[in-house]
Amino acid sequence: MLNSLPEIVVPSISFSKDPIKRAEDCTLNLNVTDDDTYTLPENLTVSMTIQTSIGELEDPIELTNNNNWTFTTTFSIDITKPVGIYQVHIGVEDQYGGKDNTTAVIFVENNPPEIQGYYVNGFAMNQSISVNYGEDLVFTFDVSDVEGTIDYITVSLLDAENNWYNISRIYLPGTKITIRTEELITGVWYAYISVTDVDGATTYLNSDYGLAPQEINIIPDL
């Protein structure tokens, strides 16, 4: 008698998150059928192999057999891996060596950087400050990125006449941005902060937190 081959139920394949961000847990669920009288759910083994967007194959992962024709596993994509479309190669094998294979796809995204806060001359971002013309504005930052790939920070100042002053610096831990008020006109300026990572994702404090813009009043030198 010929062995009836197991079959992966393709419509049952589901990812708990798609797209998925790097380092984020994702659960894969799927069902398998087998018409062979002597094949029970516990006789089946299901595994998956992730292929990155540049073609690299990861080590196979065996799914948990729930002994009711369903299989599951939770996985994540390492922060060092590229973003893009990943292929998930899934295979099932029964006790007789009968096999079935299929491939699913999942999109892997970058984690955007995060801004926890910043300070100007020691004042928190939700405080208005005043400085005399001629004094420096020193910005310090509390920022992070899951992948640790922050590229640069930008400080943008806007005055009442809709004049912009922009300055960017490559990010290193402890980075400070100093602005000389001699390069600005006196009056009120509003501060906007953004952080960009190497993948080009930018987080803007004003849109994410609702705390910006910070008001900075530059007082004329009398």
pLDDT-wise least confident of 89-93, 151-155, 211-215: 211-215
Fold equal for 7-109 and 114-219: yes
Q: Summarize pLDDT for 74-110 with one digit per residue, the tens.
A: 999 999 999 999 999 999 999 999 999 999 999 999 9
What 170-173 contacts at long range (C-beta under 8 Å, 24+ apart), as own/partner pairs, is: 171/143, 171/195
The pLDDT of residue 222 is: 64
Q: pLDDT by residue (tens digit) across 158-173?
A: 999 999 999 999 999 9
Q: Is 134 left (phi over 0), alpha (psi -120 to 50) or beta?
A: left
Residue 111, both tokens: 């984690």
Greater confidence (1 vs 70) lies with 70
> Domain spanning 7-109 has what CATH number?
2.60.40.1930
Mean pLDDT, the chain, whole residue set: 93
Helix/strand/coil for 50 = strand
| 186 has pLDDT over 50 | yes
- Asked if the model's pLDDT at residue 36 lies above 50, the reply is yes
CATH of 114-219, one of 3.40.190.10, 2.60.40.10, 1.10.3720.10, 1.10.10.10: 2.60.40.10
The residue extents of the domains of the chain are 7-109, 114-219
- Record the pTM: 0.81
